[in-house]
Amino acid sequence: MSKWLLTTVLFICFFIYCGAPQQPGQTVPSSPGAEVAYTQLSESELQRLLKVLPTFIDIIEKEGKEVELKGKPGDIMSSMQAMGMVNKQIAGLDAKLRAQGMGWNEFWPAYVKTMLAYGALLLDSLKVETQKEMAKNQSEIAKMEAKLNDPKVSETEKQMIKTSLEAIKSFQNMFAQIDTVYAKVPQTNKLIVNKYKNELDKLLDRD
């Protein structure tokens, strides 16, 4: 499994969070959850993170399979708080990160903000084409819905059409939700992360 996939799996719940951003300057809790996701990221914070991130990725590759997230099903905040406690499940994680220059209580907020901004940049690069495809889908949806009311269309074909419609609408809802999440990322965070995107790409095994 690639480093990118492992890191993404560990971070996936942040892609579906739609909570309100925390204001810059507010205190970051020692066991951060969703509330830190939209705070300001400093360049020095990201520079330090880049030095520690390889160690974190290596640890997750070796021990991440043992991590059990105990958030309540369907409770996004609970899931995020569980993610913020990964250091309690991997023995020596804080000490190993601290040895590289950034303990868990500093690493986790920086990681959250960086990965959210990184994802926002990826979404921005795909957004125009995705929206074009979604616009094309609207005309296809209209045609398919018309067929559902056509008595000449067989029940078998109608069932296939229903399945396709559900898939299209599911994607549209998912995209709208993700777009809402990333729209809250501070522009300054995106600018800082974009400056170091090549380094992040290499660390996350992205071309």
Cβ pair 109, 32 in contact under 8 A = yes
Helix, strand or coil for residue 60? helix
DSSP state of 70: -
46-50, 159-163, 179-183: the lowest-pLDDT one:
179-183
Q: How far apart are CA 182 and CA 38, in angstroms?
A: 10
Separation of CA 142 from chain center: 32
Alpha-carbon gap, residue 47 to 53, rounded angstroms: 10
Q: Is the pLDDT of residue 6 over 60?
A: no
Write out the two tokens for 165: 């419609």
Angle between helices 104-148 and 3-11 (to 10 degrees): 90
Rounded Cα distance between 51 and 39, Å, is 21
180, two tokens: 């809402």
Distance separating alpha carbons of residues 69 and 65, to the nearest angstrom: 11
Q: Please report the pLDDT score of residue 69 as a whole number.
A: 54
Residue 159 confidence (pLDDT) above 90: yes
pLDDT mean over 33-51: 86
Confidence of residue 125 (pLDDT cuts 50, 70, 90): confident
- DSSP helix/strand/coil, 15: helix
- pLDDT at site 91: 80
> What is the mean predicted confidence (pLDDT) over 107-132?
84
What pLDDT is attached to residue 133?
77
